Homo-oligomer: A and B are copies of this chain.
Amino acid sequence: MPKPELESVRKDLESQYRDFQAKKLSLNMARGKPGRDQLRLSAAMLDALNSSSDYRASTGDDCRNYGLPDGLPEMRRLFADMMEVDEKNVIVGGNSSLNMMFDTVSCGMTHGFAGCRPWGKQEHLRFLCPAPGYDRHFAITEYFGFDLITIPMTPEGPDMDAVEQAVKDPAVKGIWCVPKYQNPTGITFSDETVRRFARLKPAAKDFRIFWDNAYCVHDLTDTPDHLLSLWDECRRAGSQELAFYFASTSKITFPGAGVAAMAAAEGNLRDIRKHYFYQTIGPDKLNQLRHVAFLKNIDGVLAQMARHRALIAPKFRAVLAKLDSQLSGKGVAEWTRPRGGYFISVDVMPGCARRVVSLCAGAGVKLTGAGATFPYGKDPRDSNIRIAPTFPPVEELEQAMDLFCISVQLAAAEKLLSRRKSSGSLKARVASSL
């Protein structure tokens, strides 16, 4: 596009942007937060227990009192089915799977795995971070002092050539994975990726895959992705101790008052059970009892997820429709089309992501910070933006996406013009010196 034309496009976009500012929007698409209509889907769970309930688990234990540190058997069964692992390998925790991941890293730091020296007593710790990825994963390992190594994400999952190369370094202690409907790309790891994970031969005996299956049942279409079971593949490969598995009901029932769980093979389980033995008097079993009464089993979970889908699939479609209609073919952005999960990932013109997020904020729409999806919050190309469509109602989401699309184009126009301007001004300087 010639410069004068681009200038006129920018002016037009600026004018549209100012119209948006005048609307004084106040919308938040920053985090994968379920909407109020989704929260209502679990309202009946709060009727499951009242002053005349029995409070007993299937074991006969009174769930109001101490006991059952691994959780209710019926809750462990439910998570085993969700995570596709063995029930006896599941430990149910509190209300946050992130907390269980943090505690697992912390256990590695202070006590170590597989009889190795605690990570905290080793030097130059490194952790693999497939990016774009989940900022709170990366933040945990950054907090514990690991060097974060970026692994590029591909449409098949993390670049496994890079992973296989990286784990030759014995200082590399683990990798963060969201294997299904990854945060933020929404892609699901291919069968070959899962098999290569199961066959991984890390130099460090205490290297662990943190397999955060946060969106394992969070399908949004009639053609859901299928994730191969890492648990089964590891058993086949004789590498059961390679991975820790995590999941929760945060996006099935209540984000702030759900139930989390983890699973691990025998050796890892020994280390983790010992840690929890000292750490806690046991999880909140009444909340487990509520969940079991409400969800019952994996079929109940899937039925609940179909109800979530009915509410949020239209939001994903609305976001994609806006991106398609307003940005397609303009060369200013690319985006993913996830079949599940909580996010859509948009790559805007390199060098523009911060500007887009700042423009949106300037007109009342809060997005996930640019760079957040990369280690240290720094996207080397300043290109990736995570869209979280679930929280706002559809009509607000459409407004927000209109603003987003204008901002993407405006940032691109600014970028292109500033490049030409700088080269232009060089020419001008050369000309004036003649």
Given known contacts A66-B31, A67-B256, A256-B67, is B95 in contact with A283 (CB within 8 Å)? yes
Q: Does A321 sit at the interface, judged by CB under 8 A?
A: no
State whether B279 touches A257 (Cβ < 8 A): no
Kindly specify which of A45-53, A161-169, A341-349 makes contact with the partner chain: A45-53
Determine if A182 is an interface residue (Cβ-Cβ < 8 Å): no
Q: Looking at the assembled complex, report how far the CB atom of A346 sits from the nearest CB atom of chain B, in whole angstroms.
A: 23
Interface string of A347-382 (1 = CB under 8 A from B): 000000000000000000000000000000000000
CB atoms of B50 and A47 under 8 A apart: yes
Q: How large is the interface on A (under 10, 10 to 19, 20 to 34, 35 or more residues)?
A: 35 or more
Q: Given A62-B36, A280-B96, A284-B95, A110 and B106 touching (CB < 8 A)? A: yes
Segment from A139-147, A228-236, A415-423 that makes contact with B:
A139-147
A99 touches B284 (CB 8 A): no
B64 close to A256 (CB less than 8 A)? yes
Number of copies: 2
Per-residue contact bits, chain A 37-55, to B (CB 8 Å; 1 contact, 0 not): 0010011101101111101
Q: Is the CB of A66 within 8 A of B33?
A: yes
Q: Are the C-beta atoms of A287 and B257 separated by less than 8 Å?
A: yes
A263 to chain B, nearest CB (A): 20
- Over the window 216-257 of chain A, the binary record of Cβ atoms lying under 8 Å from chain B Cβ atoms (1 yes, 0 no) is 000000000000000000000000000000000010001111
For A63, the chain B residues whose CB sits under 8 A away are 256-257
Known A46-B51, A50-B50, A120-B110; contact A65-B255, beta-carbon cutoff 8 A: yes
Query: Pick the contact of A109 from B49, B64, B120, B254 — CB < 8 Å?
Result: B120
| CA distance in complex: A238, B31 (Å) | 42
- In the assembled complex, the CB of A46 is this many whole angstroms from the nearest CB of chain B, namely 5
Chain A window 310-350, contacts with chain B (Cβ cutoff 8 Å), 1 for yes, 0 for no: 00000000000000000000000000000000000000000
Residues of B with C-beta under 8 A to A47: 50-51
Q: Are A255 and B33 in touch, CB under 8 angstroms?
A: no
| Chain A 104-144 interface residues, beta-carbon cutoff 8 Å to B | 106, 109-111, 118, 120-121, 136, 139-140, 143-144
A386 at interface, CB cutoff 8 A: no
Whether the pair A95, B98 counts as a contact (CB closer than 8 A) is no
Q: Using Cβ atoms and an 8 Å threshold, which residues of chain B touch A278?
A: 102, 136, 139-140, 143
Chain A residues with CB under 8 Å of chain B are 31, 33-34, 36, 39, 42-44, 46-47, 49-53, 55, 62-67, 94-96, 98-99, 102-103, 106, 109-111, 118, 120-121, 136, 139-140, 143-144, 250, 254-257, 274, 278-287
19 A–B contact pairs at CB < 8 A?
A36-B62, A42-B64, A46-B51, A46-B286, A66-B256, A67-B256, A102-B279, A106-B110, A109-B109, A110-B120, A110-B144, A120-B120, A136-B278, A139-B278, A140-B278, A143-B274, A255-B281, A256-B281, A257-B287
5 further A-B pairs in the complex, CB-CB below 8 A; given A140-B278, A250-B281 = A43-B52, A96-B281, A109-B110, A110-B120, A136-B281
